[in-house]
Amino acid sequence: MKAIVQYEYGSPDVLAFADVETPRPAAGEVLVRVQAASVNARDWHVLRGDPYVARPSADLGWRRPNVTIRGTDFAGRVEAVGPAVTGVQIGSEVYGEAPRAFAEYVAVPQDRVAAKPATLGFEEAAALPLAANTALTGLRDAAKVEAGQQVLINGAAGGVGTFAIQLGKALGATVTAVCSTRNVELVSSLGADDVVDYTTSDFSRLDRRYDVVLDLVGNRSLTALRRVLVRRGTLVLSGGGLYGGGSVFGPLGLIIRGQLSAPFVSQRVVVFDAVPSSANLTTLREYAEAGRLTPVLDRTYPLSAAAEAIRYVEAGHARGKVVISV
């Protein structure tokens, strides 16, 4: 099969479009014929082995990546099932989150795959898993957003942010979106009740207070982020930001400082891990089929041009999601 492979850290230039062995599903796994995949900030962080402190993880290695096929999100059809798999039929249209998704086939644990939203095509469905799960976990589980609360999303026009606006509204919150001038109309169309254009206003200096701040960027200090919270508000920090800390700590620098300060401040400072699960994928499917969650697709690239897709996302100007058609 064809896949996007990486044998050393570096720029997108180190990626190759190559022939590799088609995986076989192990016990508890399904083999999916990938129709579409999507790019996340995580992909270029892994590509560069950045930040260095994350290299002991399962995907990264000190000198070279442990997982050599890139990609995480996918949508496609079930080609085969391994032993002990139940409830999944060959030919079913599915979507999910698992390593090695930038390929014609991917073997996925059953608990990381779910039926594709019937209202979405493969490219739209592939945009959901990591980004929408991050938004769902951050707002519903980490922040415990309730109806009537005021929620601010810093980085609202990106992959996670566009989903966070819609899920915040679905949870009953009043949502303020922070974005650039060119994205004001976009975030408003997704349901944002208020928009702060960061090219003309610094949200951390405005006389407004929020119950929850979801920071997806890492371009403000902890002091600035806490300044806009009510006394018992919640600051939720995501590790997927584009900025903050350089190649040693990257966005983890702000997260580490947040964890250290948490016991000493009145506001909650929460760092969360958006664990992939079929349960959350099912929830996202239900929101999508109810018309409450719509992916925003910026650009689509063929699998052979995945390096260019990652380069575009790394530049930091993508609106919503960038998708790879397989």
pLDDT for position 99: 94
Looking at the 3D structure of the chain, how many domains does it have? Answer: 2
Mean pLDDT confidence for 224-247: 75
Of 271, 287, 315, the domain-final residue: 271
Domain that includes residue 47, residue range: 2-127+295-325
- Asked if 230 and 210 count as a contact pair (C-beta separation under 8 A), the reply is yes
Closest to 288 (Cα-Cα) out of 90, 75, 71: 75
283 contacts: CB under 8 Å, gap ≥ 6? 136
Give which of 139, 151, 133 is closest to 203, Cα–Cα. 151
pLDDT tens per residue, range 259-275: 556 565 667 888 888 99
pLDDT of 303 reads: 98
**What's the whole-model pTM score?**
0.90
Write the CATH number for 259.
3.40.50.720
Q: Answer yes or no: is 171 within a domain.
A: yes
- Domain assignment present for 46: yes
Residue type, 126: A
- pLDDT, tens digit, for every residue of 174-217? 999 999 999 999 999 999 999 999 999 999 999 999 999 999 98
Q: CA-to-CA distance for 252 and 121, rounded, in angstroms?
A: 34
Burial call 54-88: b when 16+ CB within 10 Å, e when fewer = bbeeebbeeeebebbbbbbbbbbbbbbbbeebeeb
Is 282 among the domain residues? no
pLDDT for position 241: 45
Same domain membership, residue 23 and residue 47: yes
Q: Could you tell me if residue 279 is inside a domain?
A: no
Same domain for 150 and 77, yes or no, is no
Strand partners, 73: 38, 97
Q: How many CB atoms lie within 10 A of CB 293?
A: 26
- For residue 227, give both structure tokens: 């300044």
